[in-house]
Amino acid sequence: MRLGLCLLTAILSGCAHVAPLTDIQQDTLADGQELCDLVGANYVYLDKRQPGWDAACRRLPDQVGQVSTRPEQLRVLETLTDALHDPHITFGTNSSISPRLVPSGADYWLEEDRVIAVRAGSAAAQAGLAVGDQMVSVNGRTLGDALQSRLQPPDAAASEAQRNWALNAAAAGYRDEPRSATILRDGQILDLTLEGRAVVPPESPLTARMIDGAVGYVRLNDSLGEASTVAAFDAAMDSLRGARFWILDLRDTPGGGSTDIAEPILGRFLSDSAPYQRIRPMDAPEWVKVAEPHGDWTAEGPVAVLVGRWTGSMGEGLAVGFDGAGRGDVFGSDMARLAGGVETFTLSRTGYPIRIPTYDLAHLDGTPRHVWSPPHNVLADNGDGPDLALQAALDWFAEFENPAVRPGGLR
């Protein structure tokens, strides 16, 4: 083991002044080293993050001395992965002191000191946080202190991407800390409390309705990983049969999901097989995924796909798939930008599962999925304000009612 040898074998290494590690501390150090090696061998985006990751791994022995509980053990490993500033690297478990994940555990999005998105129905929306607010402090910390609290290693020069990740991770906070926001709006300082607000998750995998007797609307409720979603989607489509236009709302898919669920959803709008996404492994030629038609009838007519900051992973794949297959126009803002496809590894000593992106994903045109932006750029996540993305889609459909729009323009 190339890290922590002095701590693990104090007598042999001549570091007799160092107290022997407890069993839980040894396990933490051993699995931290295993994680360093796993990332080195499997993480597809390590290249630009290598210096920071190596520095964090070198610091690991200094972090384990205070570990005495399983939550503290996990926290050390979670802090280690902060050095990669990649929200798609996650542990398949958490504790009461774990960080909240971004985007699924966040309800607003910052760009420098400005709020650029607020999740509809969230605690932040209920508290009155609005797009355009200037953030002064988050969870009791100034923006500078909040950002520094998530930068790893703390003494390394941070890129713009790392600083942006750290700021939004700090805003999401930790599970054991109260959440608050102090903002500047119209020259007035406002203190908003984000705790104690009931956010009731939907009970069903999706929500479906007909709009104006012509538009079939289906919203997925973070259900791209649930086995029941395909059957629920088919039933919803049957209830909306006869719609002339379609809206697929992917703005609540932060948890990602499975191609086994996403492909039948795309397939419901296809009459023939269609390529929809490029796969780029680390050590093999790239290839293209193909979706097949699904169901006993095909949904025809224009399709609008709605996306936003809480469109994550497989939701992003569906969006680029509809666009790449030429079967839908995408409306909204930049998505969660969860890069690549993940594989799950299990750490030997602790048994913690860790998900690491091991291959890149791209639009058919070659644009990396986590870089691609919707062609119809409109504010997607407007808190308790008007639904601008939905209205943009409805306005787009209205253009097809104009005789000047030729049928050949339908997608």
Beta strands 180-185 and 141-142, pairing class: unpaired
- Summarize the confidence of residues 239-251 as an average pLDDT: 97
Pair (188, 212) in one structural domain: no
Same domain, 131 and 175: yes
- Residues 43-60 have pLDDT tens digits of 999 998 999 999 999 999
Confidence of residue 404 (pLDDT cuts 50, 70, 90): low
Share of the chain above pLDDT 70, in %: 93
pLDDT tier, 6 (very low <50, low <70, confident <90, very high otherwise)? very low
What's the pLDDT score for residue 155?
75
Tell whether 130 and 65 lie within a shared domain: no
What pLDDT does residue 203 have?
87
pLDDT at 32 over 60: yes
- Quick: pLDDT tens for 187-240: 999 999 998 887 888 889 999 999 999 999 999 999 999 999 999 999 999 999
pLDDT at residue 1 greater than cutoff 60: no
User: Averaged over 15-37, what is the pLDDT?
Assistant: 87
Burial 1-31 (b: 16+ CB within 10 A, else e): eebbeebbebeeeeeeeeeebeebbbbbbbb
3-class SS string, 379-393: CCCECCCCCHHHHHH
Query: What pLDDT shows up at residue 166?
Result: 94
Answer yes or no: is pLDDT of 172 > 70: yes
Which pLDDT belongs to residue 18? Answer: 60
Q: What is the pLDDT of residue 401?
A: 76
Number of domains into which the chain is organized: 3
| Pair 307, 331 in one domain | yes
pLDDT score recorded for residue 197: 84
Calpha distance 210→237 (Å, rounded): 10
Residue that the structure tokens 């995998």 belong to: 205
Pairing outcome for strands 141-142 and 134-138:
antiparallel
How would you write 304-357 as a 3-class SS string? Answer: EEEECCCECCHHHHHHHHHHHCCCCEEEECCCCCCCCEEEEEECCCCCCEEEEE
Please report, for residues 49, 123, 228, 360, the alpha-carbon distance to residue 177 in angstroms, rounded to integers and kept in the order given. Answer: 29, 15, 34, 35
Final residue in a domain of this structure, among 46, 61, 91: 91
Distance CA 116, CA 131 (A): 5
Determine the Cα angle at 404 with ends 401 and 408, to 5°: 85
Query: Does residue 353 lie within any of the structural domains?
Result: no
Domain holding 243: CATH number? 3.90.226.10
Final residue before a domain boundary, out of 91, 118, 141: 91
Tell me the mean pLDDT in the region 259-286: 96
* 149/176 same-domain check: yes
* CATH number, domain with residue 145: 2.30.42.10
Are residue 277 and residue 321 in the same domain, yes or no? yes
CA 122/CA 195 separation, integer angstroms: 11
Look at residue 156 in the predicted model and tell me its pLDDT. 72
285 or 16, which is more confident: 285
Residue with tokens 């999740």: 119
Q: Is residue 400 part of a domain?
A: yes
Q: Do residue 189 and residue 211 come from a single domain?
A: no
Indicate if 154 and 303 belong to the same structural domain: no
Same-domain pairing of 231 and 369: yes
Long-range contacts at 139-148 (CB < 8 A, ≥ 24 apart):
139/170, 139/171, 139/173, 139/177, 139/178, 139/179, 139/180, 139/181, 140/177, 140/178, 140/180, 141/170, 143/113, 143/167, 146/170, 146/171
Same-domain pairing of 114 and 188: yes
Which of 66, 91, 116 lies at the terminal end of a domain, its last residue? Answer: 91
- For the residues 248-259, what does the mean pLDDT come to? 96
- Render the burial of 155-178: b for 16+ CB within 10 Å, e for the rest: eeebeeebbbbbbbbbbbbbeeee
pLDDT, mean of residues 287-293? 97
Does 399 map to a domain? yes
User: Residue 5 — pLDDT band, cuts 50, 70, 90?
Assistant: very low
The C-alpha atoms of residue 291 and residue 289 are separated, in whole angstroms, by 7
* Residue the block writes with tokens 């006993």: 296
Write out the residue range of the structural domain in which residue 314 sits. 206-341+360-409
Stretch 139-151: mean pLDDT, rounded? 93
CA nearest to 76, candidates 62, 86, 58: 62
Looking at the predicted structure, is the pLDDT value of residue 408 above 70?
no
335 within domain boundaries: yes
Q: What is the mean pLDDT of residues 346-362?
A: 97
User: Cβ distance 122 to 28 under 8 Å?
Assistant: no
Average pLDDT over the chain, rounded to an integer = 92
Entry pTM: 0.92
Q: Are 215 and 332 in the same domain? A: yes
**Residue 65 burial (C-beta neighbours within 10 Å; 0-12, 13-18, 19+):** middle
DSSP E strands in 86-133: the ranges are 90-91, 108-111, 114-118
**Residues 285 and 377 reside in one and the same domain:** yes
pLDDT of residue 338: 97
Helix (H) or strand (E) segment spanning residue 226? none
Among 61, 89, 95, 55, CA closest to 75: 95
